[in-house]
Amino acid sequence: MSTENTSSEREQRMTSDEYQAALTAARQENEALQDKYLRAAAAVENVRKQAERDAEQRLRQRLGNFSRRLLEVADNLERALAHASEGDPLHPGVQATLSQLQTFLGQEGVTPIAVEPGATFDPQLHEAIAAHPADVDQATVAEVTQTGYLFNGQVLRPVRVVVTVPVGDREER
């Protein structure tokens, strides 16, 4: 009670200018605390968003790595189909397994890169494993040796190709 009386007595002795000064000081302190609160809330929100981006990035990276390993299975199934005759009793089963795997990969955002012989060589999408001089104006795909894939629009694995290059270019490289 003695504190309340002292506080009450002090308030009774304050002049209107002192009340105004105390009110102004309280408002300034309120604004400073409000600013600190807003900055802290913004910092927490930024940390939350960064954590979400990091988690999403790790998930994409893991899914990409997993998909790359599955591509090896698809490659082996494609090789088995390339060496099996149509009359082979395993051919339909291998074809069905490959189709199912490709459907699964497609659902996860992994799509094959379409390239045909005669297409212009694109180092962003293609990996040249051999080059042969030919009478062409620019480097072109002569043969596709391994299918390449995109993962959500980004190259997961480039298409491995044999390239024909203009006759003079092979010696310069």
What is the domain-level CATH number for residue 169? 2.30.22.10
Q: Which two tokens stand for residue 136?
A: 């062409």
Note down the domain range covering 94.
Answer: 1-108
Q: Which of 84, 108, 132 is the last residue of a domain?
A: 108
**Can you point out the beta strands (E) in 65-169?**
110-112, 126-134, 140-146, 149-151, 154-157, 159-166
Q: Which residue has the tokens 């799509």?
A: 111
**pLDDT at residue number 137:** 87
Q: Let me know: does 162 contact 132? Beta carbons within 8 Å.
A: yes
Residues 102, 146, single domain; the answer is: no
Q: Let me know: does 10 contact 19? Beta carbons within 8 Å.
A: no
**pLDDT at residue number 15:** 85
Provide the whole-model pTM. Answer: 0.67
Residues 91, 37, single domain; the answer is: yes
**pLDDT at residue number 124:** 95
Residues 64, 42, single domain; the answer is: yes
**pLDDT at residue number 172:** 45
Residues 118, 104, single domain; the answer is: no
**pLDDT at residue number 171:** 47
Residues 132, 88, single domain; the answer is: no
Residues 138, 84, single domain; the answer is: no
Pairing of strands 126-134, 159-166: parallel
**pLDDT at residue number 35:** 95
Residues 131, 151, single domain; the answer is: yes
Tens-place pLDDT, residues 120-136: 999 999 999 999 998 88
Q: Which portions of the chain are predicted below pLDDT 70?
A: 1-12, 169-173
Q: Is 118 helix (H, G, I), strand (E, B) or coil?
A: coil
The count of structural domains within the chain is 2
Helix axes 16-83, 91-107, angle to 10 degrees: 170
**pLDDT at residue number 173:** 43
**pLDDT at residue number 134:** 87
